[in-house]
Structure 1
Amino acid sequence: MITTADFRAHPLDQVHRLIEPGPVILLTTQRHGTPNVMTNGFNMMVRHAPPMIAATVGPWDHSYRALVETGECVIAVPTADMAATVVDIGNCSGADVDKFQRFDLTAVAAREVEAPLIAECHANIECRVADTSLVGPYHLFLLEPVRAWTDPSRPAPELLHHRGDGTFTVDGPVLDLKERMTKWQYLL
Structure 2
Amino acid sequence: MKNLPLNKIVRWLEPGPLVLVTTADQGKNNIMTMGFHMMVQHDPPLIAFILGPWDFSYKALVGTKECVIGIPGVDLMEKAVDIGNCSGADVDKFKEFGLDGLNAEKVKAPLIKQCLANIECKVVNTDLSKKYNLFIVEAVMAWVNSDRKEQRIFHHKGDGTFSVDGRTKDLKDRMTKWKDLIK
TM-score normalised by the chain length of structure 2: 0.89
1:121 aligns with 2:133: no
1-structure distance, mates of 2:107, 2:154:
25
User: Who is 1:8 aligned against?
Assistant: none
2-structure distance, mates of 1:180, 1:154:
29
User: Who is 1:43 aligned against?
Assistant: 37
| 1:152 CA displacement | 2.3
| 1:64 CA displacement | 0.4
Q: Which amino acid aligns with 1:135?
A: S
User: Who is 1:95 aligned against?
Assistant: 89
1:56 aligns with 2:63: no
Is the contact made by 2:73 and 2:116 (CA closer than 8 Å) also made in structure 1? yes
TM-score normalised by the chain length of structure 1: 0.87
Unaligned runs of 5+ in 2: 1-13
Unaligned runs of 5+ in 1: 1-19
Q: Which amino acid aligns with 1:115?
A: A
SS at match of 1:152: coil
What's the CA shift string for 1:12-71, capped at 9, x where partnerless? Answer: xxxxxxxx9710000000010100000001111111122111111111000000000000
SS at match of 2:79: helix
Is the contact made by 1:23 and 1:162 (CA closer than 8 Å) also made in structure 2? yes
User: Who is 1:147 aligned against?
Assistant: 141
1:26 aligns with 2:20: yes
| 1:187 CA displacement | 1.1
* Cα distance change of structure 1 residues 155 and 51 upon mapping to structure 2, 3 Å threshold: farther
Is the contact made by 1:21 and 1:42 (CA closer than 8 Å) also made in structure 2? no
Aligned identity (percent) is: 56
User: Who is 2:177 aligned against?
Assistant: 183
User: Who is 1:78 aligned against?
Assistant: 72
SS at match of 1:50: coil
User: Who is 1:138 aligned against?
Assistant: 132
* Aligned CA-pair RMSD: 1.4
Is the contact made by 1:21 and 1:41 (CA closer than 8 Å) also made in structure 2? no
Q: Which amino acid aligns with 1:96?
A: D
Q: Point out 4+ residue stretches in structure 1 off by more than 6 angstroms.
A: none
Is the contact made by 1:21 and 1:43 (CA closer than 8 Å) also made in structure 2? no
1:161 aligns with 2:179: no
User: Who is 1:3 aligned against?
Assistant: none
How many residue pairs end up in the alignment? 169
1-structure distance, mates of 2:28, 2:161:
31
